Copies of this chain bind each other. A is one copy, B any other.
Amino acid sequence: MAKTDTKEKLIAASADIIHEKGFNNTGIKEILDACQVPKGSFYFYFKSKKDLGLAVIDYHGQRFAAITAKFLGDKNIPPLVRLENMFSMFVNKICENGFVRGCPIGNLCQEMSDLDQDFRLRLNKSLRGLSQGVAKVLEEAAGAGELAPDSDPEQLAGFIVNSWQGALLAMKVEKSRRPLDAFMNVVFNMVLKK
């Protein structure tokens, strides 16, 4: 296997295991076993488990940037419809997957922000990336007269992304789509109305 392949394989497998179990609750051995990579090889690619954790944050950040670009960048669709389409897609995925795990970035924000400053800064950048994508589309909506004239797209975007994180937390503990439906209804029928 080429060097980059092994590194990417380690990152993708860790991203998956950490998403389910949390960072502190995941051992390097578990990751090595999942990838069938020897321990020495791991330390060739990563200085430490922390180093791998930071790479996992970037990995998720890039994946989300691609998803938001795809859904929110299509100027042929009205801005608020693009936003609703993206969240509907997320809702459908979560229902298909049986209401587990939630957002990999949000989970790590919760777990790591108070425990490691490097994690916190990297996670903050990732979470802001998500809300900046939403803010851009809300600015377009405001420009097109689709939002109340006094609304603040940046504040609204932060609120929406954070409320989504809260809805994910609730679906995970309830094992139901109820919190996701409440999010869709209140955000798109009450908050994002003129």
Contacts and interface: CB of A to CB of B under 8 A. Distances in A.
Contact of A166 (B20, B101, B111, B167): B167
A105 to B, nearest CB: 9
A120 B165 contact: no
Contacts of A100: 114
A182 B170 contact: no
B169 A182 contact: no
A48 interface: no
Contact of A163 (B123, B163, B175, B185): B163
A153 to B, nearest CB: 12
Contacts of A120: 173, 175
Nearest to A191: B190
28 contacts: A21-B115, A22-B111, A24-B24, A101-B114, A102-B110, A106-B166, A106-B169, A110-B111, A111-B111, A124-B174, A127-B170, A127-B173, A158-B170, A158-B182, A159-B163, A159-B179, A159-B186, A162-B183, A163-B163, A163-B166, A163-B167, A164-B166, A165-B165, A165-B169, A165-B170, A166-B167, A166-B169, A190-B190
Given A100-B114, A109-B170, A162-B170, 14 more contacts: A24-B24, A25-B115, A110-B169, A113-B173, A113-B175, A123-B173, A124-B173, A127-B173, A155-B185, A158-B178, A159-B179, A161-B166, A162-B163, A191-B191
